[in-house]
Structure 1
Amino acid sequence: MTDISETQPPSSAAQPTRPSRLGRVLRFIPLIAPVLLWSVPCWLLLYAGQHWPTPATLAGTVLFGVGLVTMPLAMMRGHGRRQHDGAAIVGDTLLGVAWVVFTWSVVLGVLLRLALTVAGVGAGQDRARTVTWAVLGVAVALLVFGYVEARRVPRVRRLDVELPRLGAGLDGTRVALITDTHYGPLDRARWSARVCERVNALEADLVCHTGDIADGTAERRRAQAAPLGTVRATRARVYVTGNHEYYSEAQGWVDLMDELGWEPLRNRHLLLERGGDTLVVAGVDDVTAESSGVAGHGARLDGALHGADPDLPVLLLAHQPKFVGRAAAEGIDLQLSGHTHGGQIWPFHYLVRIDQPALAGLSRHGARTLLYTSRGTGFWGPPFRVFAPSEITLLVLRSPRRAG
C-alpha cells in the first residue's frame, strides 16, 4: 500500500529566494551576448591574418551579420508574449550554432595557433587559414553530433545508492528518474512516447519527474506530454514543479499531471512501504515558485515533511540541486534533482557550476545527505547536446542491512 500524507505548511515557512550570482550575471547577457557570439568568430575566421578573396570575406561577413540580427529577433518573437514556435526554432538553433562556433573559434584560435607556432609554422596566411578550416570542421562535426545526441531517446544510467537508514525490507527498491523533458517548439510527441516505453521497461517501483516538463502552457504542449500518462510504476508516479512551469501557468501543469495519474508532491509526502519498512517520499515546489506570483506555490520543506516520522529515511524531489543546502540541514537521506542539463553544450558547464552545487551524478552534502543530479531527459532551447548526454536514471536503493 502507498499512503499519502496531505500537508498544508504554515505561511511563516516561506523562504524568499534571492537572485543567484548566475542570475545577476545573466541579466546583462541579452545585451552583449549576440554581439560577442557573432563578432568574435567573424573576426577570427575572416580577418585575423587570413586575407581571403574579397568576395569570400564579404559573403562571410554578411552571413555573420545576418546571424547577429536574426538570432535575437527570432528569439524575442519565439519566446515572447506570442510564443511563435517557428521563430523559436530558428532563434534557438542559431543560438546553439553561434555558441559552438564562438567556443571553438576561441579555443582553437589560441591552442592551435600556439601549436602551429611551436611546430614552426610561421605567422601568416597559411597558419590563419589552417586555424579557420579546423574551427569550421570541428564546429560542424560537433553540431551534427550534438543534434543527434539531443534528439535521441536517452540511454539508461543505472546505479546503486546505499542509504544507511533504509530498512532491509526496502532493499532493491527501483526508482526511475526523468526530468527536464522540455516539450517545446519542436514537436517531440513520438520521442515522448519512446521515452515512456523505455521507462516502463525498467519496471520501477517509483517513477519520478523532477520538473521542467515543457516550455509553454499545458494546453499548448498537451499532445507532447500525453504519453506520460502511459508510464507505469508498481507503487507510485510522483512529480514536482521546475522553474519553467512558472513561466507557463504552473497550476495548469500540476493539474495536467494529476489528470495523467501522477502524484504532484507540492510540499507534501507519501509513504512507500515494503517488507515491513517505510520510506518517506517528499517533494517541494521549485525555489523560484514564491517569486513567481502564483498563489499558494513555494518551496517549503517543513510542509513536505509535516507529519512524517523523523526516524524514517527520506527521499526528496527538488528540481534544483541548490535546494540541497536546506535538505542537508534537515538530514534528508537522498535528494533527486535535474535543472542543470549537465551543462548541455560545453563549456556552459562552468557557468552552471557558478549557480549550482553539482552538475551531474551522485554527490554528498553534509553528514548524511546524498544528492543525485540528472543531466536531464530532454533539452532546452538549442537542439544540441555536446559532451552532456541526456539520461533516464534508474537508482536501486540499497540497505546496509540487506541479507548477504
Structure 2
Amino acid sequence: MSDNPAEAVEEAATPPRRSRGRWRRSAVVLAVMLLLFGVPWSTLVVGGAAWPTAVAVAGTLVFVAAFAGLPVAMMLGHGPARRDWAAVLGDALLGAAWVLFVWSVLGQLFEVVLLAAGVADPTRSRLVAAVVVTVAVGLLAWGYVEAMRVPRVKNLDVAIRRLGRGLDGLRVAVITDTHYGPIDRARWSAGVVERVNELDADVVCHVGDIADGTADIREAQASPLARVRARSARVYVTGNHEYFSEAQGWLDYMERIGWDVLHNRHVVVERGGDRMVVAGIDDATASGSGVSGHGADLDSALIGADRSLPVLLLAHQPKQVVHAVRGGVDLQISGHTHGGQIWPFNFLVRLEQPVVHGLSTHGDRTQLYTSRGTGFWGPPFRVFAPSEITVLTLRRCSSDDDQAARHEPR
C-alpha cells in the first residue's frame, strides 16, 4: 500500500473509472450489434411473414449463431492471437451483416409501397424478405469480385499554378491502402505491380496502410513492391494501420527494397530543368501510437526545401490537409477512406474526414486528391466504391487558369 494518501485515493478510484469506461464501450457495441442483426432478423424471419415454425426457428438459430460468432471471430482474428482464419470469418460476417442491415432498412420502404398497393401480409412481408435477400446476396457476390480484382486505372489531370514548364505532364501513379492481410493476396499484389509498371510513371507513391500485420508476417504479399518501376522516385509514407503492427519495421522494409521512405522528410524530383519537392509525413495517429520518434511533422519534412518550388505532399488521411494548407503545399495525396468501401458507409466516413474521394481544393493554393484505395480492409467486399490505381498528370497553369482548375470537396 502507498505511503502517499493521494496515491492511495487515486489507486482506489482508478479501477471504477476504468470499469465504467469498459461498461460504456460494451453497451455501445452491444447496441450496435443488436441493431445490426436485429433489424435483418425482424425483416427476414419474424414480422408479418408468418413462416412455418421450422423455417422461423432455423432462421433464428442462424442469426443467433452469427450474433455470438462475430465478436469471438473478431477477437481471435484481430486480437493478440492474430488467427488469420478467424479474421477472415469475422470480417466476412461483419460485411454480410452490414449489407443485410442496410437493405433490410431500405426494404421497409418497399413494404410501404406494397402496403399502398394493397398487398396484404404474409405475402407483403415475404416479398420484402425475398427482395432483401436477393439484393444482399447479389451485392455481396459482386462486392467480393470488386474487392479481389486488380484495380482499374483512373486518370486525372491536376493543374498546379507553380509547376515549371519542364514538369508539365509529369505523371504520378498512386497506390494506397493495400492492406495485405489474412487473405493471401500475393498474386493480386503481383498483378497490381504489373499494372503500375505498365504506366511508366515518373513518380510512384504508396500512401500508407500497406498491411495488417508485421513485415515478417506479410512479406510474401508485400514483396512484389520491390519490382515497382518509376522514372524518378518511389515514395512511401505510413498509414494508421502501420501503427497497429510495427510501423518502424515497415519503414525499414520499404527502405530495404529500394523505396524512398518519407518519414517526415522530402526528396526533390527534377525533369526538364525544373524541380518539385515531394514530401511525406507520418499518419495522424503516429504521435499517439507510442512509437518513439513518430508523429506528423510537416515543418521537419520541409527542412532544407526550396520553398519557391511546388510541393507535392503524401499524407495518409485527408484531414491532414489542414497542415498542408498552413504549409503552402500545392497538392496533397491521401487515401484512408476507401471511398466508404461498402455503401452507404461513405456517409459515416464523411463525419470524420473532409473528403471521401476525388479532387478538392482547400485554401488559396492547396489541392487534395483522395484515393478510394487499391485494396480493402476487413470485409472482402467493395460495394459502389471501386478500388483504384490512380495516375495524376500534373499540368502547368497560369494564375488565370487556376480558378477553372479547382474542384469542390465531395
Structure 1 length normalisation: TM-score? 0.91
Match of 1:173 in 2: 170
For residues 82-231 of structure 1, what are the structure 2 equivalents within 5 Å? Answer: 82-109=81-108, 111-122=109-120, 124-231=121-228
Alpha-carbon displacement from aligned partner over 1:344-363 (angstroms, at most 9, x marks no partner): 00111111000000000101
| Contact 1:34-1:72 at 8 Å conserved across structures | no
Shift, 1:307, TM fit: 1.3
Match of 1:361 among 358, 374, 391: 358
Instruction: Tell me the secondary structure at the aligned position of residue 364 of structure 1.
Output: strand
User: Greater CA radius of gyration, 1 or 2?
Assistant: 2
Match of 1:50 in 2: 49
After the TM superposition, which of the residue ranges 152-161 and 43-52 deviates more from structure 2? 43-52
Match of 1:262 among 259, 264, 268: 259
Distance in 1 (CA, whole Å) between partners of 2:327 and 2:363 is 10
What CA RMSD, in Å, does the superposition of the two structures yield over aligned residues? 1.3
Which amino acid is 1:141 matched to? Answer: G
Distance in 2 (CA, whole Å) between partners of 1:29 and 1:390 is 31
Distance in 1 (CA, whole Å) between partners of 2:95 and 2:34 is 15
| Contact 1:203-1:234 at 8 Å conserved across structures | yes
After the TM superposition, which of the residue ranges 32-41 and 125-134 deviates more from structure 2? 32-41
The structure with higher relative contact order (CA 8 Å, sep 6+) is: 1
Task: Indicate how the Cα distance of structure 1 residues 171 and 137 shifts in structure 2: closer, same or farther if over 3 A, else same.
Answer: same
| Contact 1:150-1:390 at 8 Å conserved across structures | yes
Which amino acid is 1:200 matched to? Answer: N
Match of 1:390 in 2: 387
Consecutive unaligned residues of structure 2, counting only runs of 5 or more, are 1-23, 399-410
Match of 1:288 among 285, 288, 292: 285
Match of 2:70 in 1: 71
Alpha-carbon displacement from aligned partner over 1:192-230 (angstroms, at most 9, x marks no partner): 000000000000000000000000011100000000000
| Contact 1:166-1:399 at 8 Å conserved across structures | yes
Task: Indicate how the Cα distance of structure 1 residues 379 and 26 shifts in structure 2: closer, same or farther if over 3 A, else same.
Answer: farther
Distance in 1 (CA, whole Å) between partners of 2:207 and 2:118 is 53
Task: Indicate how the Cα distance of structure 1 residues 29 and 175 shifts in structure 2: closer, same or farther if over 3 A, else same.
Answer: farther
Alpha-carbon displacement from aligned partner over 1:313-342 (angstroms, at most 9, x marks no partner): 100000000000111122210000000000
Shift, 1:33, TM fit: 2.5
Which amino acid is 2:182 matched to? Answer: P
Distance in 2 (CA, whole Å) between partners of 1:289 and 1:147 is 31
Match of 1:349 in 2: 346
Match of 2:18 in 1: none
Distance in 1 (CA, whole Å) between partners of 2:272 and 2:388 is 30
Match of 1:62 in 2: 61
Distance in 2 (CA, whole Å) between partners of 1:283 and 1:296 is 15
Which amino acid is 1:90 matched to? Answer: L
Question: Stretches of 4+ moved more than 3 A in 1?
Answer: 25-31
Shift, 1:120, TM fit: 2.8
Match of 1:8 in 2: none
For residues 2-21 of structure 1, what are the structure 2 equivalents within 5 Å? Answer: none
Match of 2:322 in 1: 325
Match of 2:270 among 273, 276, 288: 273
Shift, 1:28, TM fit: 6.7
| Contact 1:315-1:335 at 8 Å conserved across structures | yes
Shift, 1:27, TM fit: 8.7
Which amino acid is 2:88 matched to? Answer: I
Instruction: Tell me the secondary structure at the aligned position of residue 237 of structure 1.
Output: strand
Counterpart check, 1:301 vs 2:298: yes
Shift, 1:245, TM fit: 0.1
Distance in 1 (CA, whole Å) between partners of 2:44 and 2:199 is 48
Shift, 1:311, TM fit: 1.3
Shift, 1:158, TM fit: 0.3
Distance in 2 (CA, whole Å) between partners of 1:119 and 1:257 is 61
Shift, 1:162, TM fit: 0.5
Which amino acid is 1:101 matched to? Answer: L
Shift, 1:47, TM fit: 1.2
Match of 1:239 in 2: 236
Shift, 1:31, TM fit: 3.4
Distance in 2 (CA, whole Å) between partners of 1:229 and 1:68 is 42
| Contact 1:175-1:396 at 8 Å conserved across structures | yes
Which amino acid is 2:396 matched to? Answer: S
Which amino acid is 1:142 matched to? Answer: L
Match of 1:250 among 224, 241, 247: 247
| Contact 1:162-1:400 at 8 Å conserved across structures | yes
After the TM superposition, which of the residue ranges 309-318 and 112-121 deviates more from structure 2? 112-121
Distance in 2 (CA, whole Å) between partners of 1:104 and 1:175 is 38
